[in-house]
Amino acid sequence: MMIEQRLAAIKKRIDIAAGKSGRSPEDIRTICVIKEAAISDIVRVIRCGFFEIGENRVQEAERKKELLRKELASEVFLRLRWHMLGHLQTNKVNKALQLFKLVQSVDNLKLANVLSRQLDKSGNNMDILLEVNISREASKFGVKPEQALDFTREIIKLPHLNLRGLMGIGAYTVQAEQNRRAFKNLSDIFKKANAFLAQMGLLTMPILSMGMSGDFEVAIEEGANMVRIGRAIFEGGG
């Protein structure tokens, strides 16, 4: 199956899942995760109208961004919105701030503080998501689900950081249904955090990022409005 056909199939699956959750497919944003993808394949995805790009590593984002700059018309390249998805080391913060529009993987207060301090030097702001370890796997980053509300309260105090939502990664499993409970838990935390923000008279968070190639339909059914898909696009898995 060609990439264009895979994208069409994924869109159809998103449409069905959105319908099951009582929402419009337009409510769901798809982030194309380009980790191991060839530049030629990434270009094909972009030419199909997918402009939100996710990368796990700062150096890879920098390399691919320069290659894509050469491959795409300037007006198309400027439409790209880059998402940092992987664990961000504090010594990579400066470069990340230059490359990304949204850091989805803020997983501790030290990182949040470093981001805030660096942004203060330029006077710029950065959109971020708080990463929650919904699978509770020791190999994954993210705050514990029971700590997410406390972290939300702390992060909103930091200048130059716009907390736009929550991000979670389900357990690696061949059975997507096994992640439903974890996704529902994060959706409930998201609602509670937004209730707190509304009570404080603050802007609520619009983004609930959860679901990848193997489980994005279940994630959407449980409230995700942003999914991160790579393998199902570039390898046909999921």
pLDDT value, residue 150:
97
Residue type present at position 52: E
Domain segments of the chain: what residues? 3-234
pLDDT value, residue 190:
98
- Assign 3-class secondary structure to 96-131: HHHHCCEEEEECCHHHHHHHHHHHHHHCCCEEEEEE
CA angle 75, 160, 147 (to 5 degrees): 110
Per-residue pLDDT of the chain (238 residues; tens, 9 = 90+): 699 999 999 999 999 999 999 999 999 999 999 998 999 999 999 999 999 999 999 999 999 999 999 999 999 999 999 999 999 999 999 999 999 999 999 999 999 999 999 999 999 999 999 999 998 888 889 999 999 999 999 999 999 999 999 999 988 776 889 999 999 999 999 999 999 999 999 999 999 999 999 999 999 999 999 999 999 999 865 5
pLDDT value, residue 96:
98
pLDDT value, residue 138:
82
Closest CA to 163 of 130, 208, 185: 130
Q: How far apart are CA 152 and CA 156, in angstroms?
A: 6
Q: How far apart are CA 65 and CA 231, in angstroms?
A: 20
pLDDT value, residue 137:
85
pLDDT value, residue 170:
87
Structure tokens at 224: 């995700």
Superfamily designation of domain 3-234: Alanine racemase (3.20.20.10)
Matching residue, tokens 């509304």: 198
Residues whose CB is less than 8 angstroms from the CB of residue 133 and which lie 6 or more positions away in sequence, other chains included: 107, 140, 141, 142, 143, 144, 145, 168, 169
pLDDT per position as a tens digit, 2-32: 999 999 999 999 999 999 999 999 999 999 9
β-partners of residue 9 are none
Q: How far apart are CA 99 and CA 84, in angstroms?
A: 9
Q: How far apart are CA 150 and CA 43, in angstroms?
A: 41
pLDDT value, residue 238:
55
Q: How many helices (H) and strands (E) does the chain have?
A: 10, 8
